[in-house]
C-alpha cells in the first residue's frame, strides 16, 4: 500500500503548499493587474499566462535550467547549502507555483475587476485604511473568485505531469507524485494500481469542476447593490 499512499500523500502536500503560496503571491499580482493604470501591465499579464499555452516540457526545460546549479537554484542553493534545487521537493513547489499561477491569478483578477473601485472608495470615505479596505471589503466581495483561484490552482497542481517529469524526475517520497506514479505503473504493466489511482483522479476532477461551477453560480447570483 505504501507504493500507492506515498505518491498520494506527496501530491496532496505539494498541492497544498503550492496553493498557499499561490494565494500569497497571486492575490497581490491580481490586485495590481486589476487596478494599475500602467500601460505595460498586459505584458506582465501575458508572461504570467504563458504556462497556459507553452508545452509543459518547454516550461520544464527552462525551469530545470533555472533551478540547476548554474541558475537561480544554484545561487539560492549556496545559501541553503545544497548544489541544486532540481530533482527536489522544493524545486517542485517552485515549478508548480509558476505553472499554476495563471489559474489562480485570472479568476481573482476577474473578481476584483467585477467588484469595481466603488466599494473601496465608499470604504475610504468611511475612514477605512487601505489594508482595512482590502480585508473588510475586497476579500469578502471577491471571495468566490479567491476560492475559485485556490481550487483551480490546487487541482492544476495535482494534475501536473510534464513539468514534474522535467524538473523532478521520479524519486519515491521526494518527487514521485500521482501522475508520475500512474505513468510508472502503466510502464511496468501494473494495471491494478494504475486503475485505482486513475479512478481516484477521475472522481477528484469531477468534484473540482462541479465545485468551481457552483462557486461561479453563487458569485453570479450576488445581486449588485
Partner 1 sequence: MSDQISIRLAGQLGQFDLNVDFAAPMHGITALFGPSGCGKTTILRSVAGLNRIPGEIRVGGETWQNERLFLPTHKRPIGYVFQEPSLFPHLSVRQNLTYGARRTKAEHAIRFDDVVELLGLAHLIDRWPTHLSGGERQRVSIGRALLSQPRLLLMDEPLSALDRMAKDEILPYFEALHSSLKIPMLLVTHDISEVERLADHLVLLKSGRVQASGRLSDVLTAPDSPLAARSDFAAVLPGLVDRIDPDGIAVVKVGETEIYLLADSLSPGDSVRVRIAAGDVSIARQRAQDSSILNAVPVHILSIEPMGLSETGLLLGLPDGAGQFRARISRRSNAKLNLQEGDEVIAQIKSVSLLANR
| Interface contacts to partner 1, rule CB under 8 A | 118-119, 121-130, 132-133, 136-137, 140-141, 222-225
- Of 47 and 122, nearer to partner 1 (C-beta) is 122
- Of 25 and 124, nearer to partner 1 (C-beta) is 124
What's the CA gap between 99 and 54, in Å, rounded? Answer: 10
Query: How near is the Cβ of 20 to partner 1 at its closest, in Å?
Result: 24
Any idea what DSSP says for residue 51? Answer: G
Query: How near is the Cβ of 139 to partner 1 at its closest, in Å?
Result: 10
Which residues, other chains included, contact 193 with Cβ-Cβ below 8 Å and sequence gap of 6+? 3, 4, 181, 185
Which residues, other chains included, contact 6 with Cβ-Cβ below 8 Å and sequence gap of 6+? 172, 173, 176
Instruction: Assess contact for 181 and 161: CB atoms under 8 A.
Output: no
What's the CA gap between 6 and 186, in Å, rounded? Answer: 17
- Of 42 and 121, nearer to partner 1 (C-beta) is 121
Query: How near is the Cβ of 216 to partner 1 at its closest, in Å?
Result: 17
Query: How near is the Cβ of 138 to partner 1 at its closest, in Å?
Result: 11
**Surface-to-core class of residue 131, CB atoms within 10 Å of its CB (0-12 exposed, 13-18 middle, 19+ buried):** exposed
Query: How near is the Cβ of 137 to partner 1 at its closest, in Å?
Result: 6
DSSP string across 141-159: HTHHHHHHHHHHHHHHHHT
What's the CA gap between 161 and 145, in Å, rounded? Answer: 26
What's the CA gap between 110 and 49, in Å, rounded? Answer: 14
- Of 5 and 131, nearer to partner 1 (C-beta) is 131
Query: How near is the Cβ of 214 to partner 1 at its closest, in Å?
Result: 18
CA dihedral 154, 156, 161, 167 (to 10 degrees): -60
Query: How near is the Cβ of 117 to partner 1 at its closest, in Å?
Result: 9
- Of 143 and 208, nearer to partner 1 (C-beta) is 143
Amino acid at each position: 500500500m505504501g507504493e500507492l499512499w506515498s505518491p498520494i500523500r506527496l501530491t496532496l502536500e505539494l498541492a497544498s503548499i503550492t496553493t498557499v503560496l499561490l494565494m500569497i503571491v497571486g492575490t497581490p499580482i491580481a490586485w495590481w493587474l486589476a487596478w494599475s493604470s500602467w500601460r505595460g501591465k498586459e505584458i506582465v499579464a501575458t508572461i504570467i499566462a504563458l504556462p497556459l499555452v507553452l508545452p509543459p516540457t518547454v516550461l520544464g526545460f527552462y525551469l530545470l535550467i533555472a533551478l540547476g546549479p548554474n541558475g537561480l537554484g544554484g545561487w539560492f542553493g549556496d545559501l541553503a547549502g545544497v548544489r541544486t534545487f532540481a530533482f527536489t521537493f522544493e524545486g517542485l513547489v517552485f515549478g508548480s507555483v509558476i505553472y499554476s499561477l495563471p489559474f489562480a491569478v485570472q479568476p481573482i483578477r476577474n473578481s476584483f475587476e467585477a467588484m469595481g473601485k466603488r466599494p473601496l472608495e465608499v470604504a475610504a470615505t468611511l475612514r477605512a485604511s487601505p489594508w482595512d479596505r482590502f480585508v473588510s471589503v475586497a476579500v469578502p466581495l471577491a471571495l468566490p473568485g479567491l476560492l475559485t483561484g485556490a481550487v483551480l490552482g490546487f487541482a492544476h497542481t495535482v494534475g501536473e505531469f510534464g513539468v514534474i517529469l522535467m524538473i523532478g524526475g521520479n524519486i519515491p517520497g521526494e518527487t514521485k507524485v500521482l501522475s508520475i506514479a500512474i505513468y510508472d505503473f502503466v510502464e511496468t504493466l501494473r494495471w491494478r494500481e494504475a486503475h485505482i489511482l486513475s479512478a481516484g483522479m477521475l472522481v477528484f476532477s469531477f468534484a473540482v469542476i462541479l465545485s468551481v461551477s457552483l462557486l461561479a453560480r453563487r458569485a453570479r447570483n450576488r445581486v449588485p447593490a
